Each structure stands twice: as C-alpha cells, then as structure tokens.
C-alpha cells in the first residue's frame, strides 16, 4: 500500500480516538455488533451487483474469480473491513472486469458501475419495507420488546449503511463508482489528466475524507434518500 495512504489511514484512526469513538469500549463493541450485519450485507451485495451485471453482459472474469455470489467471503477485503469498523471508512474487494469481453464497452462499463449503487438502493428499500411490515403486523414486538428493539436497530442500520454506500460511491473520485460513471458518460479517458487522477485516486479520496470534504455531499445526500424512503413507507 502507498505510504501516503497508510499515513492518512493512521491519521483517520487517530482522529477517531481523539473524537472519543472508543471512550466507552462496551458501547463501541455493542454498536459495532449491531452494525456488522449491515456492513457485510452492504459491501457483499454492492460487489455482487458489479459482478452479476458484468457476467450478464458477457464478461466471465467475475464468474471464474468466484465473485458472482452473495457470500461475503468472496467480497470482503480484510484490511478494508477492519478500517471500516475502526475508522468508519473501508472498502470491499473490487470486482475485476475485462471490458474487451463487452459488446459495447462504454455502455456496459457504465452499467457495471451503476450496478453496485443500484443494488445498495434496492437493499435499502427492501429492508425498509420489511421493517414497515413488522411494525404493521407486530408493533408490540418492535416497541415493547428488547429483542424487537435490537431487530429494529439492525434493520435500520442495514437501510442506513446501504444508503451511505450508495451515496458515497456516487462521489466522482476514483476508485469510487461515481468516477467510472462520469468517465464513461463523458469519455474522460481521452484526456491525459484522467490517468494521473486515476492512479492517485485512493490517496486523493482519503485526503478528502480526512478534511471532511466528502461530508459536504454525503450527509445531505444520505439524509435526503433516507427521509424519502421512510416518509413514503411510513406515511401510509
């Protein structure tokens, strides 16, 4: 890993400690355990979405690499997973594709890039619907039962984490899907600067996170999507 990247990750970890994230180890452990299913589901289905669409569009690379599956073991990057739990930023194991296997490379790469965030949106809506059904059928279980409150929190975490992954990955900075999306829409590879940005993308992204610049897009975007889904489902 690039030494600059390691330094930024260390700074993010130090920032988490400074902000009191681990001040109460018991509370941190409990919140992490409640968040764990959401993280596994969100990362796994995001990468599965990329792999599945690439495979359906004619690229068998993800299939032979064992990525056309929802099994988290195929998609979780150990370092990225630990970073996500400790500093709130992490990554899965990126799906590798071979654009030469596509009939229409630009169109198909765009669809593959959109597949991950689309899958996260579908999962968020699906679990919001599940929560709405549980609340309608067994409100006493959700509101008057300790296990029910835990179940509700886990479901809400799945909804929220998937929305976070969707909005975050739409930021147009490499190696996020948003950069690939604008690349294919505007055919940015024809510009020489594209390759320099792409090669240094992960470092650039970490710097933006360190200085909370990504929050300018992330926070209002996540709140807007979350409130839209909940308002629609719980208004009826």
Catalytic positions: 47
126-148 burial by CB neighbour count: b if 16+ within 10 A, else e? ebbeebbebbeeeeeebeeeeeb
Backbone angles phi, psi at 76, to 5 degrees: -85, 125
Give the separation between CA 110 and CA 114, rounded to whole angstroms: 6
CA–CA gap between residue 48 and residue 95 (Å, rounded): 8
Which residue from 26, 4, 31 is spatially nearest to 153, judged by alpha carbons?
31
187 phi-psi bin (left φ>0, alpha ψ -120 to 50, beta other): left
- Residue among 157, 163, 159, 154 nearest 220 (CA): 163
């Amino acid at each position: 890993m690039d030494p600059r990247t390691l330094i930024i990750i260390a700074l993010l970890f130090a920032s988490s400690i400074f902000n009191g994230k681990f001040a109460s180890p018991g509370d941190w452990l409990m919140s992490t355990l409640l968040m764990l299913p959401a993280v596994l589901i969100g990362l796994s289905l995001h990468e599965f979405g990329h792999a599945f669409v690439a495979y359906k569009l004619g690229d068998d690379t993800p299939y032979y690499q064992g990525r056309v599956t929802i099994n988290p073991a195929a998609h979780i990057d150990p370092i990225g997973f630990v970073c996500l739990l400790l500093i709130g930023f992490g990554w899965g194991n990126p799906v590798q594709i071979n654009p030469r296997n596509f009939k229409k490379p630009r169109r198909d790469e765009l669809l593959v890039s959109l597949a991950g965030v689309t899958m996260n949106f579908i999962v968020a809506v699906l679990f919001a619907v599940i929560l709405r059904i549980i609340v309608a059928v067994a409100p006493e279980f959700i509101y008057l039962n300790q296990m029910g409150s835990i179940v509700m929190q886990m479901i809400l975490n799945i909804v929220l984490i998937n929305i976070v992954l969707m909005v975050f990955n739409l930021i147009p900075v490499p190696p996020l899907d948003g950069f690939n999306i604008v690349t294919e829409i505007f055919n940015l590879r024809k510009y020489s600067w594209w390759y320099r940005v792409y090669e240094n993308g992960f470092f650039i992204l970490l710097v933006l996170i360190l200085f909370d610049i990504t929050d300018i897009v992330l926070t209002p975007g996540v709140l807007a999507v979350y409130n839209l889904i909940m308002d629609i489902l719980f208004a009826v």
